[in-house]
Structure 1
Amino acid sequence: MSGPLRLVPEDGGSERTMQLRTLPLKRRRPALPARPEPEPEEQLGLSADPLDELAERLNDICADAVHPYEIAAILESDGLSDEQAALLYGRPDAFTVAEELFEKVQRRYPGPSSEFANPWRADPWRCVVRGLVFALPGLGYLLGANLFATARMRFGLPSGMLALSVATLVSWGFNQALAHRAYRWLGRLRRRDAARCLAVGAPLGALVAAAAAYVVGGPLGALSFAAGQSAYLGAATVLLVLGREKFLLLALAPASVGAGVVLAVDVPQAVRTVVLLASVLLAVGLAGRELVRCIRGVEPEAVELKLPLRQELPHLLFGLACGALTLIAGLGETIHQAVQAGGHAVHTAAVHAGGHPAHGAHGAHGAAHEAKAALTGPAMIALTLSLGLAEWLLFRYRAMAVAALRTSHTTGQFGRRTGGILLGCLFIYLTTVAALDAAATVLWPGAPALGVPQLGAMLLLGGSLWLALLLNAFGFSWSTALICLAAATAESAGLLTGADPIVLQLIGCGAAALVLTAIAGPALGRTTQHR
């Protein structure tokens, strides 16, 4: 069908059904009283335009349209062909009829109504909860810090940290693709199929991430921590997709309380490990319970449906790229110091034969790692806490864009309004990230304030990720994946060659933000993206 389909929320819940807008029926006119003999021009039919009657019949539809193509789509859906347009209305085709109707009828927009209510409403408190569950897992690193061998360094990181970083990248990429696939099932009102997809994919993703950490290698404690993190991330994906954020808060309670105690007093590692295991087991147990409940739930019979796996590939790449960009922002300075110090250690060993400069370099790396953690820690906390706001702003943008679609008089006006909405949402997000970073810096012991270059790099990263998420929501998955992947690849290559990580982030994330903005402005300014 070529007619415009509109989303209409049901009265009883959040599910939406499709409703086709059709042409009004032709009205029967009452018989008119006899009138005097018409003039010769009227006898020839020169003054009557058959399009006037159609304009009167389609008055409401034409007054509500923001472009002639909307009217043309409705005419075509009603069966008006080019031949009929020429025969009935004396116009060469249906598009010409639509353009003249658009000019004849004055624009008159009723604005949002109960019939076509805006479906893009988000609960702000739910977004706050989601922001917390994105940020609170970071407290687990306080409990598991002793599991990493800080006396042995690898790429400037404590031994085992590299394995954890690789496991994190694999988990982010895999779970991003898994969540997208499950949401596709939910979008087709197939909750049971979504639960089955998650029941298979979440454990598989955890096993793949843990295996990747094992291949990289490290101390047994660090590898165990990576395996536990992978299991938690799989369970968290299940609960977030199924809308059970509060269950995830419950699972994170032991680790959150334990991290608070660790900051106050010294706690034995055995107790820390038990607390971490409690959070992981709670998350896995609650996720399993929810999956069983959904699979056993009663659903109406539906036709067999298969979703191709290839559509998840761009989301897998996007997850990997986002993880790489975030890890570079958090660990880039440490790796940079290791690359620089590694070259210096080799030079010193060549000059002072028989010495052991590597041991001293490793000790310096450990101290540098702690100093850089104090520098980048508040920035990472600000970014993770802001994810709830980022999600709310995505809903807010779509809601305001739909409202602009109902009230704009021309396509140009609509494009300007959506551009202003886009910049406004982006400004609110970046301002909030900067404010959160300032607050985290005050609360973080010994953390120096971010300089202008560091703050600019963090804001460019946050802006790039938000724009990428927005474009992903509108179906531009391959574009966003390739842009972010190119930025992550360039930054990683530059970092390993010894380039300044802040400069790399300014260039990489800055270029990604510019390209994403250049795509988002024209693409989201089209009315067809918001129907």
Structure 2
Amino acid sequence: MSGSIWLPPDARPETFPAIPRQRTAPSWAGPDPVDELAARLDDFVAAAVHPDEIAALLESDGMSDDQIRERYGVKNSFALAEELYERVARRHPEPRTPPHDPWRVSLLTCLLRGVLFALPGFAYVLAAASPLPLLAGALTGWTWNQGLAHRAYTWLGLGDERAAKRSLLLGTPVGVVLGALVAFLVSGTADRTTAFAAGQALYLGASTILLVRARERALLLALLPMATGAVLTLLNSIPNTARLTLLLASLLTVTLLAVLEIMPRSYGLKGRGAASNVRLPPRGRDKPPHTRSQPTTQGPRLSSSFPYAVFGLATGTLVLHSALEDNLTAVILTLGMGPAEYLLHHLRSAGTTALRSSTTPTAFRRAATRTFLHCLTTYLLTLLALALATGISPTPLLLLGTVLWTALLLQSFGAILSTTAICSVAALAQTLGPLTAPTVYAIAATTQAALVCALLGKATAHR
């Protein structure tokens, strides 16, 4: 805010003295260019919660500070934004049609994804293999596929579904080879554990494709044979041949479904979920010959996905440490990713609603903070209920859950570098062992919660 208090037109006495602002007078006579700009941007400025939103719009329109000083007589885009914010009355008219909310998501879908994250753990019951090579291969797969998924989602956000599929088609085999190779190097021999690690790497790559393409139900059906075999093994031992058959059945089904999703001939098919509303560019044969080789969209840089890969490595390391301490902690955290994802979307959805309904930055910050506390409390109560039901210590679970949920929230705000740095330091501290796990989790959770609170009040972070 600029320090002045806005009053509606019918409540502003005419006797109030005008407070002069230090503006450089334009070099030519005529209508005030700031008033003209305010009239042109009236709807956007009237709905802005904070002048920073207006400044972001001015900068996106390509206005430099030199141009602003020459034409409007103010120092920079932020000063011009404050001028516009003060001259236009706040109003938030209700749209004629329900506004688009990109964060609205089904609770059932999120819960299903949580189950899908936890269900592959049953494969370890059937495999009965050495855990260390498998954990090393899994950590490699999580790292690679986190970066690959970010790149595919970025292409989808740019409206290029073909490029998203191409990135998955080229990147998935590399991740499979890396995961299997790391497991082999840790194991040192080509035995049953190495073979299972190769299958694990193949599953991680194929399931990433299906999750990016919003094929959760198909993935669930493909995992049923493996889950059924694991339950039977826990209840009553079954022959090794049956175990291997059930494992291979699920693995081959998931792989086949993933291949069908990214085959070149499927580029013309319309996907479901997040990709269903993406309009594909015209096919090359419909273009003039001299334009066929020219890309329709400038794609994201490969380096932009690197922080997301490191984020996957850091959070995966934290979860693996918890699994080494207590397997149930990792299982509960994995199952809790469903409610965590839903509450994250709910918070972001409430933020977009608050942008339309709040009339002052203070009211917006208050609404966003209240929603944040509600969502975080609900998530922690969910983890607490699962901890009490399974009899594990709730303190490390709740602290690590706070770290993971606030990390995902910061990632959604675009603060990927900050949360990656915090989670990486926490993972290193826990790996090297100078501090206890609860202490590491508490420091990381407190730091990330403070960053979240700093971002909650910024309207531009919710756009």
Shift of 1:275: 0.9
Matching residue's letter, 1:128: L
The one of 424, 442, 446 aligned to 2:374 = 424
The corresponding residue for 1:459 is 398
TM-score, normalised to structure 2, is: 0.80
Match runs of 1:108-147 below 5 Å: 108-110=91-93, 114=97, 116-145=99-128
Supply the AA of the counterpart residue of 2:235.
Answer: A
Q: Which residue of 2 aligns with 1:44?
A: none
Distance 1:93 1:179, change over 3 A: closer
Q: 1:138 to 1:54 in 2, by over 3 A?
A: closer
Q: 1-side partners of 2:52 and 2:378: how far apart?
A: 34
Give the count of matched residue pairs: 406
Amino acid at match of 1:511: I
Change (3 A) 1:74 1:319: closer
Identify the residue that residue 237 of structure 1 maps to in structure 2.
208
- Which residue does the alignment assign to 2:186? 216
Identity in percent: 42
| CA distance in 1 between partners of 2:36 and 2:303 (Å) | 50
Counterpart in 1 of 2:384? 434
Segments of 5+ residues of structure 1 without an aligned counterpart are 1-47, 149-159, 333-375, 442-448
Alignment of 1:204 onto 2:174: yes
Alignment of 1:14-163 (within 5 A): 61-70=44-53, 81-85=68-72, 99=82, 102-103=85-86, 105-110=88-93, 114=97, 116-145=99-128, 148=129, 160-163=130-133
Matching residue of 1:400: 350
Render the CA deviation track for 1:142-193: whole Å, top value 9, x for unaligned: 1112xx3xxxxxxxxxxx3111111111111111111111111111111111
1:325 alignment partner in structure 2: 318
| Residues 294 and 392 of structure 1: CA distance in aligned 2, closer, same or farther (over 3 Å) | farther
Q: Which residue of the partner structure matches residue 468 of structure 1?
A: 407
Output the amino acid matched with 1:280: L
1:291 maps onto 2:262 in alignment: yes
Corresponding residue number in structure 1 for 2:281: 300
Q: What value does the CA root-mean-square deviation take over the aligned residues?
A: 2.9
Judged with a 3 Å threshold, the aligned counterparts in structure 2 of structure 1 residues 382 and 196 are, in CA distance, closer, same or farther, namely: same
C-alpha separation in 2, matches of 1:162 and 1:378:
18
Where does residue 355 of structure 1 map in the other structure? none
Structure 1 residue 524 displacement after superposition: 3.1
- Deviation of the 1:219 alpha carbon: 7.3
Letter in 1 for 2:454: P
The answer as to 2:460 corresponding to 1:521 is no
Deviation, structure 1 residue 279? 0.9
Q: In the TM superposition, what is the alpha-carbon distance from 1:241 to its structure 2 partner? A: 0.6
Q: Deviations over 1:231-267 (max 9, x none)?
A: 1111100100111111111110101111121122111
Q: Which amino acid aligns with 1:397?
A: L
In 1: Cα distance, 2:173 partner to 2:38 partner: 60
Alignment-derived partner of residue 28 in structure 1? none
Q: What is the deviation of 1:81?
A: 4.5
Is structure 2 residue 222 aligned with structure 1 residue 251? yes
Which digits, 9 at most, give the CA deviation of each residue in 1:449-499, with x for residues without a partner?
22xxx31111111111111111112221221111111111111111xxxx7
| Residue of structure 2 in register with 1:489 after alignment | 428
Distance 1:290 1:208 in 2: 22
Match of 2:184, SS state, is helix
Q: CA deviation at 1:108?
A: 2.9
**1:63, distance to aligned residue in structure 2 (A):** 3.7
| Structure 2 spans left out of the alignment, 5+ residues | 1-30, 270-279, 283-294
In structure 2, the residue matched to 1:314 is 307
Displacement, 1:430?
1.2
Q: SS state of the match for residue 232, structure 2?
A: helix
The correspondence for 2:233, drawn from 258, 262, 273, is: 262
Change in 2 beyond 3 A, CA 1:378/1:308: same
Whole-angstrom distance in 1 between the partners of 2:416 and 2:62: 34
Q: What pairs with 1:321-400 in structure 2 (closer than 5 Å)? A: 321-332=314-325, 376-400=326-350
Partners of 1:480 and 1:100 lie apart in 2 by 35
Q: What CA distance in whole angstroms lies between the structure 1 residues aligned with 2:77 and 2:123?
A: 64
Contact 1:55 1:105 (8 Å CA) reproduced: yes
Q: Structure 1 residues 385-394 or 305-314, which shifts more? A: 305-314
Distance 1:250 1:109, change over 3 A: same
CA contact (8 A) 1:85 1:93 kept: no
Are 1:196 and 1:295, in contact at CA under 8 Å, matched by a contact in 2? no
Deviates more, 1:229-238 or 1:384-393: 384-393
CA contact (8 A) 1:192 1:294 kept: no
The CA deviation at 1:198 is 1.0
Q: Report the Cα offset of residue 92 of structure 1.
A: 8.5
- Deviations along 1:367-419, one digit per CA (max 9) or x if unpaired, are xxxxxxxxx33322221111111111221111100111111222122222212
- Give me the whole-angstrom Cα distance separating, in 1, the residues matched to 2:331 and 2:441: 19
Given that residues 235 and 287 in structure 1 are in contact (C-alpha distance below 8 angstroms), is that contact kept between their aligned partners in structure 2? yes
- Structure 2 vs 1, CA of residues 272 and 63 (structure 1 numbering), >3 Å: closer, same or farther? same
After alignment, is 105-114 or 309-318 more displaced?
105-114
